[in-house]
Amino acid sequence: MTHNTPLETDALIVGAGPAGLFQVFQLGLLEIQAHVVDALPHAGGQCVELYADKPIYDIPSVPVCTGRELIHKLLQQIAPMGAQFHYGQVVNEISRRADGRFLVKTSKATEFLAKTIFIAGGVGAFQPKTLKVDGLDAFEGSQLDHQVLDASLYANQRVVIVGDNDTALDWAMRLCASNPDGFPHKAASVTVVHRRDVFTAAPDTVTRFRALVAAGQLAFVAGQVTGVEASAGRLAAVQLTHPDASLQSLALDQLLVLQGLSPKLGPIANWGLAMERRQLVVNTEAYATSEPGIFAVGDINTYPGKKKLILCAFHECVLAAFGATAYLYPERKVLLEYTTTSSRLHKVLGHA
């Protein structure tokens, strides 16, 4: 959802990874409501994109959990805080108004008036790896996608998927007409394209994929997309160059480029904040940046002794929340309360 009228908030959090989510919790304990913006279409950040199903062993009191499980638990924990999330958007502009608040604009034209900003962008905004092919961008959002938002678009279509990871192969098998999993949106045909017959997907995924290819239910072509063919304003085919330099024209109705995501610092580098080696310099009292009212937590920041651990990010969120409270309400005396004994915190958490 986009908004033409700026959304007013005490806190805007940029990033919905572990640091951003725990920042919601710590602000909520101090009764500071937050909006959250993330470039991905879902919460999780690196935890979901890089190690969703890999084990994490260094979260206190949790012997082991996957990245996906950690994010699920964090979302459960912050549910009482009522934060509003704005996914699939990159913060492009930040400017300070005369009243001291920040006017923030995103790539989807959503605007915020925020009293404080918390940058929890990890190593940067995750953006899809695209194909650098002349003329292809014209079909973005119509016949070219970098994520599956509406699987019904591929029903009864000739689908070409570019990629070699689990996401690419899983979607190829899900859309395959012979897939017995009950998925309702079956494609007329599915062809996976990758530069060579070697995949980065999990071994079990590759085994199942190869079995469907051998059975003629899916097609695989080793090659790279090097050109496009259009007809009547629509993408009609992609031109492939094989490893032996031979060429092929591959007809299609829909093109899915699922080559994974890569983190990019993006517009953060242009916000005028003090940086060191592409990280935001902060103090360790409140994890404040060089701009009053803007804080940075997690992998995006740097300070003497910095350790890029989720546990350290959680600590930073606590002090940043107290720092923001002092910034927002300099006249207020903020006492340290414990969730075990504070009736006010019990009420905030819905346990009164």
Cα-trace Rg, the chain: 23
Instruction: Give the up-direction half-sphere exposure of residue 228: CA atoms within 13 A in the CB hemisphere.
Output: 22
| Cβ-Cβ contacts under 8 Å for 316 (sequence gap 6 or more) | 19, 287, 297, 298, 301
Closest C-alpha among 170, 220, 212 to residue 195: 220
pTM of the model: 0.71
Q: Domains, the chain, ranges and CATH?
A: 7-127+262-348 (3.50.50.60), 130-259 (3.50.50.60)
Task: Measure Cα distances from 126 to 9, 122, 134, 304 in Å.
Answer: 25, 9, 23, 26
Per-residue pLDDT of the chain (352 residues; tens, 9 = 90+): 555 689 999 999 999 999 999 999 999 999 999 999 998 888 998 888 777 778 899 999 999 999 989 999 999 999 999 999 999 888 989 999 999 999 999 989 999 999 999 999 876 666 778 899 999 999 988 999 888 878 889 999 999 999 998 889 989 998 987 665 667 788 999 999 999 999 988 889 999 999 999 999 999 999 999 999 999 999 999 999 999 999 999 999 999 999 877 666 667 777 888 989 888 999 999 999 999 999 999 999 999 999 999 999 999 999 999 999 999 999 988 889 999 999 999 999 998 7
Look up residue 14 and give its two tokens. Answer: 């940029």
Opening angle at CA 98, ends 96 and 101, nearest 5:
45
Instruction: Give the up-direction half-sphere exposure of residue 105: CA atoms within 13 A in the CB hemisphere.
Output: 7
